[in-house]
Amino acid sequence: MSVLGSAAKVHDESRQGEAFQQPVMGPKPFNRRFYIESYGCAMNFADSEVVASILNQQGYGATTVVEEADLILVNTCSIREKAEATIRKRLTEFRRNKEKRPATLIGILGCMAERLKSKLLEEEKLVDIVVGPDAYRSLPSLVEEAGAGQKGVNVLLSRDETYADISPIRLNSNGITAFVSIMRGCNNMCSFCVVPFTRGRERSRDAHSIIAEIEELYRQGYKEITLLGQNVDSYYWLDEQLDQTVNFAQLLEKAAQVSPELRIRFSTSHPKDITDDVLFTMAKYENICKCIHLPVQSGSTRVLQLMNRTYTREWYIAKLNRIREIMPDCSVTSDLIAGFCTETEEDHQQTLSLMEIGKYDLSYMYFYSERPGTLAAKRYTDDIPEEVKKRRLAEIVELQGRLSTESNRKDIGQTFKVLIEGDSKKSDQDWVGRNSQNKSIVFPKAGHDLKKGDYAWVRVNDYTRATLLGTAVQM
């Protein structure tokens, strides 16, 4: 087991099913080891890479073997009650490890740290260190304090921390695709959502540091970058030296210009903020992938208003039409919540009918989970019985299954440019990669001299539920 590389376990809802891969890293002498598990969204995963970088500077190398770690970190998610319950269970298991190796320190990072503050440390005595998403620079000193028997807590939120100057250490990297954070926090206040409370105010990262990070990744051989933020379309940064502002469309263009060989993706777009400028920039550059994650949450205008999403059903449909008018080949994916406060059967039917209109290629689907402190928790009663929420969610899931199948069926006979990410999960005789629309495509290696990181043209001839199957062709 090498201690040179960074390694971590990822529990990322948006990347479910992705293979765990060994890290790619240069040599460096480390005298202590940390183990990190990440839960929640891609932003948490990207934050773990910032944390790895901060710890590397302090002589900590990563390990995937929890028993040999001097420091166990869990980067946590508070988005739904179930996420928190899973993490608590895991912390209890780690606590048992500590009994065997008492010098090991256990820390929680991320959104649960922010939400529960010192509760896990003081009342439940589950952890030794609690660090909120804006306080990772203080992690080394908190580890030292905890090592000396004090409490290591810092959950201060910041108005300007973006970790712009920290070069993330890539964790679980396939060496081909990487996340780059472009902003932090969220100002939107969707009534169901805990993120504005756990991540604080929205702030955009220095555009020069973003482009420099992308250029460096490209030099290292990466071929696909995903620009990350809770609401990327509201990216806005003032270059004080040039007295110029940079909006998301401009940042996207700069990123696309790093190299035509480097693919650019982004996530997440709030429907109210994605502009024609962004759509035209996407259309202009072949290397900006034609895929937009455009969460709708509900198809009912009445529910959308209660959710404080600031758009109506009609407005959302008009946005979908605009996307398809400008980029007919663009895939659209969504997030959906079943059983929000006061949701009627009619509201639910409206969600199903909007999904049919949206023809989503993929959706992340949840039933509503009330989060303490949110606007919805304060203003509305969580009045939909759990069995009704679950039944509505099952209907949403079933419909999405049909829509994804229809979308895949339409791809049969088409040829796509695929970025090869590695061996397919089922067989080392097959490659797996993704097309611009972000669909996974598996195809045989035989008969071609292709390698990981290459682009291949692949004709689709079949599909499974989640994957297209094809063969490489000459173009």
Residues in touch with ligand SF4 (CB under 6 A): 186, 188-190, 193, 195-196, 230-231, 270
What DSSP designation does 205 have? P
Decide: is 297 part of the binding site for ligand SAM (CB under 6 A). yes
Decide: is 51 part of the binding site for ligand F3S (CB under 6 A). no
Dist CA 203 CA 325 (whole Å): 32
What DSSP designation does 61 have? E
| Least distance between ligand F3S and beta carbon 368 (Å) | 15
Instruction: Tell me the per-residue interface mask from 52 to 91 with ligand F3S, x by CB under 6 A, - otherwise.
Output: -------------------------xxx------------
| Least distance between ligand F3S and beta carbon 410 (Å) | 31
Residue 268, preceding peptide bond in cis (omega within 30° of 0) = yes
Order of strands, sheet of 362-367, starting from the edge strand that comes earlier in the sequence? 291-293, 331-338, 362-367
Residue among 41 and 180 whose Cβ is closer to ligand SAM = 41
Residue 111 binding: pick among ligand F3S, ligand SAM, ligand SF4, none (C-beta 5-8 Å cut-off by kind) = ligand F3S
Three-class SS of residue 475? Answer: coil
Six token digits for residue 85: 């319950």
Decide: is 76 part of the binding site for ligand SAM (CB under 6 A). no
Dist CA 118 CA 145 (whole Å): 15
Of 91, 193, 225, 274, the residue at the interface with ligand SAM (CB under 6 A) is: 193
274 near 283, Cβ under 8 Å? no
Dist CA 442 CA 463 (whole Å): 9
Could you tell me which stretch among 16-24, 103-111, 130-138, 361-369 binds ligand SAM (CB under 6 A)? Answer: 361-369
Dist CA 88 CA 82 (whole Å): 10
Residue among 118 and 305 whose Cβ is closer to ligand SF4 = 305
Residue among 57 and 187 whose Cβ is closer to ligand SAM = 187
Instruction: Tell me the per-residue interface mask from 195 to 234 with ligand SAM, x by CB under 6 A, - otherwise.
Output: x----------------------------------xx---
- Contacts with ligand F3S in 191-250 (CB under 6 A)? 194-195, 198-199
Residue 274 binding: pick among ligand SF4, ligand F3S, ligand SAM, none (C-beta 5-8 Å cut-off by kind) = none
**Could you tell me the end-to-end alpha-carbon distance of the chain, in angstroms, rounded to an integer?**
43
Three-class SS of residue 238? Answer: strand
Three-class SS of residue 305? Answer: helix
Three-class SS of residue 337? Answer: strand
- Contact set with ligand F3S (CB under 6 A): 40-41, 43-44, 77-79, 110-111, 194-195, 198-199
